[in-house]
Structure 1
């Protein structure tokens, strides 16, 4: 009986402070709100699982950059080749130069000597094992 009387005295001396439960907090109520849960689930779905997810867009952006680089490269090559074609169409001396250098054509009274340099491979040093 003494224990009960001590508890009663303690309760009378100390004011009753209501304990807040976790379920009563504003944050808990906000997080468990059905609209918040649906919004988070939608964002997770769109970010990771959807056909147009963030990761798919990153891969597609990489491919676009590579294709743009290829486009620049091929455009430069096209410009160079167009310039060469214009020179061939307008300059007969250029046609003769290409015929001699690349196709080894010659005039009737000429002799052509083709000199090729041989690549000599250096012997590899053998380590004593």
Structure 2
């Protein structure tokens, strides 16, 4: 027990313990900040992956639109509700059931 008290009274141990406590809880880059930064990096990485997939999808669609006229007509009809002169377009919108 005496040996343990001597270790805790040692000025180097006290200085090291104070340094560790300061770095873990009071410093600008404490543990909580590091956890928040890591969570933000993960969220941004997920967004980056999502947007890269969307860019690849849009590039594929653009390439298909530039090379195939039938695809361009289909795209115009589905996305922008374009029609030929002798056609009628009916848009059916499904309403969400009220809960």
Fold match (TM-score > 0.5)? yes
TM-score by length of 1: 0.66
TM-score by length of 2: 0.84
- Give the one of 49, 52, 59 matched to 2:29: 52
CA distance in 1, matches of 2:26, 2:65: 57
1:105 counterpart residue number: 82
What is residue 57 of structure 2 aligned with on the other side? 80
SS across alignment from 2:29: coil
Distance 1:69 1:117 in 2: 32
Higher helix proportion (structure 1 or 2)? 2
Q: Say how many residue pairs are matched.
A: 99
Cα RMSD, aligned residues only = 2.4
The list of structure 1 runs, each at least 4 consecutive aligned residues, that deviate by more than 3 angstroms after superposition, is 117-122
Equivalent-residue separation in structure 2 for 1:91 and 1:120 (angstroms):
36
CA–CA distance in structure 1, aligned partners of residues 48 and 61 of structure 2: 20
Q: Give 1:37's aligned residue.
A: 14
Instruction: Provide structure 2 residue ranges, at least 5 long, that are not aligned to the other structure.
Output: none
- Kindly state the Cα deviation for residue 117 of structure 1 after the two structures are TM-superposed: 5.5
Q: Secondary structure at the match of 2:57?
A: helix
Q: Flag the structure with more relative contact order, 1 or 2, with Cα contacts below 8 A and sequence separation at least 6.
A: 2
Cα-to-partner distance string for 1:75-123 (whole Å, 9 max, x where unaligned):
1111111100000111111111222333333334x2224152664968x
Structure 1 unaligned spans of 5+: 1-21, 125-129
Q: Larger Rg: 1 or 2?
A: 1
